[in-house]
Amino acid sequence: MKELLKEIRSIIDSARANAVRSVDFCRVQMYWQIGCRIVEEEQGGNVRAEYGKYIIKNLSRSLIPEYGSGFGIRQLEQARQFYIEYPIANALRSQFNWTQYRTLIQIADKEKRKYYELEAANNCWTARQLQRQINSMLYERLLLSNDKETVLAMARKERLPEKPEEIVKDPMVLEFLGLEKKTHYYENDLETELINHLQDFILELGNGFTFVARQKRILLEDDEFFIDLVFYNRLARRFVIFELKTGEATHQDLGQLQMYVNYYDRTEKLPDENPTIGILLCTAKNDTLIKMTLPADNDSIIASKYQLYLPSEQQLIEEIERVKKEWEEVQ
């Protein structure tokens, strides 16, 4: 009886979810068709911008009394823009709702919009998660250490992530932790909040991550060590180790992380798995010091700066210029 009840509940929940998705996609198709007719009317009449505004204004005035605020001027303008950006009906994604498409059409850069569209579909992002990734400037942060072709190829699943820079972002944005901007707090506080917000943290990490361990104990003869966080990336087929620092990265931190990476490669990694990656998550870093500390052919350790607030566009531009300058100085 219990098993039967469980199966019937599953059938009902699945049917309800499908019904909601069906209604959501019908709404998407409705706005697409409305946008199509508005554009056709514009093209068939006066081509001036004022004529388009006239059409939308008068449609809204007639539709709102009968159908409500969902057909106001702003909504009709968005429907028009939706059709312009997505003119092929068969290309619409049935798993996206109108809120997601409304968010996507606000992105002017077509390649950037395509990236978010692909990643939202690949990872089943909700509308809230999609908006969060855009607000955190995920695309721009990935471009700090990757070229545009690589970023889009991974989103299209044409290639798998290989280098540390392709797996972990720099900087990382952890605004979801809700930590105060104190001058100092303990690393244990940061670790605890990351575990408490594990789903959000994995969203920030990106594709393919699964949680393995917290404070992983390792014993080297009589010496005991604890690795802060251990994840596994199934796409890259490798362990990813995180060491957390609430201050600036030092060469001692990098040395300790290298030891942990070596340990995992020599005792935990299976023969058919790829080498372990170590991520030093810190509040500040000296990129020149890091490059000089690590081997020239380093492909296993990366220091990633984190921040507890969403970045502004100006902050990201300044970060891009800083990284470019430091690379030029080292080379």
Query: Using an 8 Å Cβ cutoff, are 191 and 214 in contact?
Result: yes
For residue 82, being part of any structural domain is answered with yes
- DSSP letter at 91? G
Note whether residue 131 is domain-resident: no
Range of the domain at 54: 2-104
For the record, the structure tokens of 223 come out as 């010496």
Cα 46 off chain centre by: 43
Q: CB neighbours (10 Å) of residue 287?
A: 18
Q: Say how far apart CA 125 and CA 127 lie, in whole Å.
A: 7
pLDDT bin (cut points 50, 70, 90) of residue 320 is low
Identify whether 118 is part of a domain.
Answer: no
Chain centroid to CA 151: how far?
Answer: 12
Q: Strands (DSSP E) along 181-247, which ranges?
A: 209-220, 223-233, 238-244
39 and 167 inside one domain: no
Domain shared by 67 and 176, yes or no: no
Whether residue 318 is predicted with pLDDT greater than 80 in this model: the reply is: no
- pLDDT top residue among 255 and 312: 255
| 246 vs 242, more confident | 242
Q: Give the residues across from 172 on adjacent strands.
A: 306
Out of 104, 127, 150, pick the residue that ends a domain.
Answer: 104
Residue 266's CATH number = 3.40.1350.10
Average of pLDDT values for 42-65?
Answer: 78
Report the chain's C-alpha Rg in angstroms. 24
Residues 192 and 312 in one domain: yes
Q: Are residues 86 and 184 in the same domain?
A: no
Q: What is the pLDDT of residue 168?
A: 81
Instruction: Tell me how far apart the alpha carbons of residues 58 and 106 are, in angstroms, rounded to a whole number.
Output: 24
Looking at the fold, whether 204 and 293 belong to one and the same domain comes out as yes
| Residue range 191-216: mean pLDDT, rounded | 93
- Which of 220, 287, 280, 281 lies closest to 254, judged by CA? 280
pLDDT digit string, tens, across residues 66-97: 888 888 999 999 999 999 999 998 989 989 99
- According to DSSP, the residues that pair with 220 across neighbouring strands are 223
The verdict on 79 and 216 lying in the same domain is no
CA distance 263 to 257: 10
Largest pairwise CA distance in the chain: 84
Q: How far is CA 30 from CA 24, 34, 37, 97, 251, in A?
A: 10, 6, 11, 11, 58
Among 85, 104, 123, identify where a domain stops. 104
Domain-embedded: residue 152: no
Is 215 found in the same domain as 70?
A: no
For residue range 289-307, what is the model confidence (pLDDT) as tens digits? Answer: 888 888 888 888 988 888 8
**Same domain flag for 72 and 167:** no
Specify if 88 maps to a domain: yes
Q: Do 182 and 60 share a structural domain?
A: no
Q: Please state whether beta strands 277-282 and 238-244 pair in parallel, antiparallel, or not at all (unpaired).
A: parallel
Dihedral over Cα of 157, 162, 168, 171: its sign? negative
Per-residue pLDDT tens over the stretch 21-50: 788 888 899 999 999 888 888 876 555 667
73 with 188, same domain: the answer is no
Same domain, 172 and 317: yes
* 43: enclosing H helix or E strand: helix 2-44
User: Could you give the count of Cα atoms lying within 13 Å of 37 in the half-sphere of its Cβ?
Assistant: 9
> Residue written as tokens 């607000």?
135
What is the dihedral sign for C-alpha 36, 37, 38, 39? Answer: positive
Q: Would 146 be classed as within a structural domain?
A: no
138 occurs within a structural domain: no
d(CA 84, CA 101): 12
Looking at the fold, whether 100 and 167 belong to one and the same domain comes out as no
Output 55 or 114, whichever has higher pLDDT. Answer: 114
How many domains would you assign to the chain?
2
Residue 181 lies in a domain: yes
